[in-house]
Structure 1
Amino acid sequence: MRVNLFGTLVASTALALTTTVAATAQQTGAGQGSNGQGQGWRGRGMGFPGGGRGVLGSVTEVAADHYTIKTDNGETYTVHFSVNTRIMKEPAGRRQGGGGDAEGGQRSTPQVLKSTDIKVGDFITAGGEVDAAAKSIGAVFIAQIDPERAKQIREMEANFGKTWLAGRITAIDGTTITIEGAMDHTPHSIMVDENTSFHQRRDSITLADIKPGEQLRAEGAVKGGAFLATTVNAMEPQNRGEGSPQAPASQPKPQ
């Protein structure tokens, strides 16, 4: 997934971060602040909860107030940070897809880093406000990830819409669930049948238990031009009944 495709995080995330993005973003709460709320990624990486733009790449330069990174497609981005930027290291052992929490897995705590802990050659993902023309991002959140995890993220991106989907439910019509994709912010239809299993964290649920506004992750395959889910994991929105299923619990305080 290229920089101009992720309308597009998390890390997402995260979700990424999901998921996720993202995956990383789900752990850190990135994307829920005032920078990037309700927007999408502009780089490689998982969508953040509440929306959030971001980039993923290898660090080529470290400075006092920014990093320079190179994305997979060879573009160079400047990642600006300040004392308000959250910098951390993603915990080891995260399962691909970041579904550990939704599937009952144990969640690890990210390690807080100093800006000087990031070195040339490290892989980082950053979420914040992207200036696509200037190829820069004002980072709210930066996470250092290991090369194996970066490889997993690339594989996840390549398989989005093929073997898995994630996003916010916008409609349910019979056995068709429509979501706003966490990675591309476009509509996707998910078909379910009698063989589809439904879960919410560790609990088994049914299609009737899933409501518009909730987040879900589905795994399956494309059959006959439609995405048929074998498993669906649903997550209740944090602030149900407050008018915005993805509204942050609190806004960051001015420094």
Structure 2
Amino acid sequence: MRALIGLVLVGSMSLAMHAQDAPAGDAPQGGQRQGRRGGFGGGNGVGGTVTAISDTVLNLKSEAGEAYTVDLTANTRLMKDRQPVKTSDIKVGDTVMAMGMQEPGKHEIHAAMVAVMTPEQAAQMKAREKEMRESLGKTLIAGRITKIDDVKITVMRPDNVEQVIVVDENTSFRKGGGGRGMGAGMGMSGGGAASDTPPAGESITLADVKVGESVTGRGALKGGVFVPTTLTIMEPRRPRPDGASAPPPSAQQ
């Protein structure tokens, strides 16, 4: 279920970044980490309490009690109260969400973004996680595509349940678009309610969808089968030499 939590974090952080973006002229000087604008589709996320922080490393403990190392670079975007901040503004005991590329098999993330959460934001994230857990497979779908058979798509969900969904003439397909696409696809708006905003990204067709890709979407059960109204293929982030994650191509257009 940790993967499910990660998906919620990715969507929440992407939405938070777009909500918190400030003009470049408002950024604090002296050590400010300048991040790239754009979505975070395809990355990994973890949330928890800060146990230690330096200019290059943030240590946190997840709600499950697991210790994570978050690597910070000059390209890591740090946000707090809708403003870019420095590492000195993040304190031990703060609740944060960190998002980026995770080292395979390790509790280590090369962070593209770290956001300090208020108690209200943390509560909203938990509510979204609960909503997603209850809605997964009913009004929401997320996971990795394992098989495509005509209009039937088999998805391995984050809770390790394999589900066959069926697309129809009313299903719209998108690719990329970063977190906004995911947030809309998963029915999450800034306030946690379902959003009718069309997902961002490139319009594609069923023929463009491939086995192995990660997908999110919303829809409804029809005759016991999930039929998506929107289906978004999440683009993986491309690693950069400095260890941070570059936005997918569609996010840079």
Q: TM-score range by the shorter chain?
A: 0.5 to 0.7
Matches of 2:81 and 2:205, distance apart in 1: 32
CA 1:22 to 1:153, structure 2 compared with 1: closer, same or farther past 3 Å? farther
1:115 lines up with 2:87 in the alignment:
yes
- 1:71 corresponds, among 62, 65, 71, to 62
What residue number does 2:71 align with?
A: 80
1:246 lines up with 2:246 in the alignment:
no
What residue number does 2:179 align with?
A: none
What residue number does 1:33 align with?
A: none
Matches of 2:127 and 2:165, distance apart in 1: 23
Matches of 1:221 and 1:90, distance apart in 2: 39
Q: Over aligned residues, Cα RMSD in angstroms?
A: 4.5
Q: Deviation per CA, 1:33-78: give whole Å up to 9, x if none.
A: xxxxxxxxxxxxxxx52x3333211223333432222212122223
Deviation of 1:123 (Å): 2.4
- 2:125 corresponds, among 134, 150, 159, to 150
1:128 lines up with 2:101 in the alignment:
yes
Q: Is the Cα–Cα contact under 8 Å of residues 87 and 115 in structure 1 kept in the other structure?
A: yes
What residue number does 1:62 align with?
A: 53
1:177 lines up with 2:174 in the alignment:
no
Tell me the matched-pair count. Answer: 190
Q: Is the Cα–Cα contact under 8 Å of residues 96 and 114 in structure 2 kept in the other structure?
A: yes
Looking at secondary structure, tell me which structure has more helix per residue: 2
CA 1:82 to 1:90, structure 2 compared with 1: closer, same or farther past 3 Å? same
Matches of 1:9 and 1:90, distance apart in 2: 22
What residue number does 2:248 align with?
A: none
Deviation of 1:27 (Å): 8.3
Q: Is the Cα–Cα contact under 8 Å of residues 190 and 228 in structure 1 kept in the other structure?
A: yes
- 2:141 corresponds, among 165, 172, 181, to 165
- 2:226 corresponds, among 225, 228, 233, to 228
Matches of 1:9 and 1:155, distance apart in 2: 13
CA 1:233 to 1:64, structure 2 compared with 1: closer, same or farther past 3 Å? same
Q: Deviation per CA, 1:74-130: give whole Å up to 9, x if none.
A: 222232313232223486xxxxxxxxxxxxxxxxxxx42322232333322222233
**Greater RCO, CA 8 A, separation 6+:** 2
Matches of 2:46 and 2:205, distance apart in 1: 35
Give the match's secondary structure for 1:143.
strand
Percent identity for Structure 1 against Structure 2 = 29
Q: Deviation per CA, 1:198-236: give whole Å up to 9, x if none.
A: 587649xxxx95441585412435975xx523x52234x
Gap regions ≥5 residues in structure 1: 29-47, 92-110, 238-244
Q: Deviation per CA, 1:172-194: give whole Å up to 9, x if none.
A: 5455333465x479864223579
- Equivalent position amino acid for 2:78 in 1: I
Matches of 2:115 and 2:217, distance apart in 1: 23
- Equivalent position amino acid for 2:74 in 1: V
- Equivalent position amino acid for 1:232 in 2: T
- Equivalent position amino acid for 1:190 in 2: I
**What TM-score do the two structures reach when normalised by structure 2?**
0.53
Q: Is the Cα–Cα contact under 8 Å of residues 80 and 115 in structure 2 kept in the other structure?
A: yes
